[in-house]
Amino acid sequence: MEFTGVVAGGSAKAQLLGYPTVNIPLKEDISGIYAAEVRIDRSLYPAVAFADPVRKILEAHLFHFAGNVYGDQIKITLLHKLRDTKVFTDEASLKAAMDGDAAAAKAYFASQ
């Protein structure tokens, strides 16, 4: 599944937990955590992505990218679903899940 959109600001919660993201609007009714690729200009970056149908946002943490792309159009391709969405009651549990999601996405890319 491919999604194109203009990068907008988010809540910055993921960034505070060590996972800065690029965020685009999500119109489709999908959810979950995915191994993904993000195209910025002509470059592709491996990522872990979260499709949040409640906030109507698709956010991706790129593994090998540091830069500001606010206002730029990007494409996020969801390659492999890692797990369903869960609700976490504390930041420590959320951070542990994010660490596991990033590791699972990296393992997916290593196996390709």
Q: How far is CA 104 from CA 36, 86, 101, in A?
A: 11, 16, 5
* 112 residues of the chain, pLDDT tens digit each: 999 999 987 666 655 666 788 999 999 999 999 999 999 999 999 999 999 999 999 999 999 888 888 899 999 999 999 999 998 899 899 999 999 999 999 999 999 8
| Closest among 3, 62, 72, 64 to 35, alpha carbons compared | 62
Q: Select from 2.170.120.12, 2.40.30.30, 3.60.15.10, 3.40.30.10 the CATH code of 2-111.
A: 2.40.30.30
Cβ proximity of 19 and 94 under 8 Å: no
